Amino acid sequence: MRTLHWFRNDLRVQDNPGLSAAASRGAVLPVFIVDSDQPEVCKPGAASDAWLHCSLERLNGSLSGGLLTKKGSAFALILELCKTYRIDAVTWNRGYEPYSIERDTALKTALKEAGIQVDSFSAGLLYEPWHAVKKDGTPYRVYTPFYKHSQANLKIRGTESLEMSQLNLIRLEEDAAIDDLELRPGIGWDQDMMRHWQPGEIGARQRLEIFIEEGLKDYRVGRDFPAKASVSRLSPHLHFGEISPHQVAAALSARAPRTDNFEHFTKELVWREFSYHLLYHFPDLPERNLQSKFDHFPWEDNADWLHAWQHGKTGYPIVDAGMRELWQTGSMHNRVRMIVASFLVKNLRLHWRHGMQWFWDCLVDADLASNSAGWQWCAGSGADAAPYFRIFNPITQGQRFDPEGAYTLKYVPELKKLPLKYLFDPWNCPPEVADQLSFSLGSDYPNPIVDVKQSREMALMAFTEMKRLAAL
């Protein structure tokens, strides 16, 4: 039997149920397609594309150069390739985005009508979204009950291994250069960003090893401090499927003691599942408020504020450090993500979709489920959302979680002249001290674009107005 395995967000050889099933049947044609039919909301941003290029190169190397890459309509190309390569069966691992579900359903029907066997598999989530539901079949909207239900009632499958000797690849009849996908920008801006990462299956496994050996032991407390190496940095590897959540869970179960650190990381792993659960059951999550009362929120429209936030020039050092980290590395520490998100949607009162879109374009781990669920959570409009009146103070957050300033000064080095006591509120540095240090606020570093206390009060007033309008 000749089987086409369609790689999507499962760019790995090991623990790949679809690929393993294809290999067990006979000859395999591995294919990856940049799908031109995707709606705009699903099309990857520039940082994700840069990662994808590197990941495909690694996967192609693992497959001895046998990966066929294409760009165009995935629906049409799969049918065409089945004819060209005399394919008997097609396998893929499931996607859960609304467009993926619609496309895959239609393609499965078309392939079966053409007499081709089709099989899809669960490979990217611990739990299928239609299994992790309440007893009455309705979806969870609060995380803690979802977590408890999943832990108590749903089993995690074991991991699968595949020997390369089991993989009989079909010889390609055409050029399959990954460069032809045009994923990397010609100006090469991504080269500096990608030096912070090692995309691919091997890099993912190494990242997991480092986290288990070094980061997990301090995870519960250390994960809130951006200068510490206490986070996993696995999210882009999970998003692109270079490692599966089953592999992560298995490695933790085999090697990590059952401490509070273990439990807290497990909860973060399941939070990813919850985001997919929400997207599956509420497919308009990236576009509409999950809580309809936020349809009445009086958002601001200020292009200057948005530009300052995007480029790390708000005048609030911990916010600016986070936004610059994002631009330079394609990532941002989770604690800082919450700080910058709170600043955008509450202190600036700019719509959460502005933040979601910027993250989508800049993050190497940009994920439709996690990105939309996370931004709605921060805005207060989503499931299990943080109360709107919970507004992070960027001054005290910096003082508490970056007390030595190591993280902030890494990305905002122009503040190195200042005494540490003024790092997070440089406008409070006495003029005579600033003069002695040759530091000029507004020249060396921006003035704050809003007053943090006043903007908090205005945010609360806007929230009250929203509730009034929603009640009419």
DSSP string, 137-171: SPPP-SHHHHHHHHHHH-PPPPP----GGG-EEPP
Regions in the chain scoring below 70 on pLDDT: 185-189, 385-386
Query: What is the model's pTM?
Result: 0.94
* φ/ψ (deg, to 5) at 35: -80, 110
**Residue whose C-alpha is closest to residue 297's, from 345, 342, 339:** 345
List Cα–Cα distances, 444 to 191, 234, 298, 307, 434, in angstroms: 28, 36, 34, 18, 11
Q: What is the per-residue pLDDT for 176?
A: 75
**Residue whose C-alpha is closest to residue 240's, from 363, 328, 379:** 363
Q: What is the per-residue pLDDT for 244?
A: 97
What region, left, alpha or beta, does residue 267 occupy, with left being phi > 0 and alpha being psi -120 to 50 degrees? alpha
Coil vs helix vs strand at 116:
coil
Domains of the chain as residue ranges with CATH = 2-123 (3.40.50.620), 124-158+201-281 (1.25.40.80), 292-471 (1.10.579.10)
Q: What is the per-residue pLDDT for 43?
A: 86
188/191 Cα distance (integer angstroms): 6
Q: Which residues pair with 29 in a beta bridge?
A: 4
Q: What is the per-residue pLDDT for 190?
A: 75
11/32 Cα distance (integer angstroms): 9
Amino acid identity of residue 349, one-letter, is R
Q: What is the per-residue pLDDT for 186?
A: 60
61/58 Cα distance (integer angstroms): 5
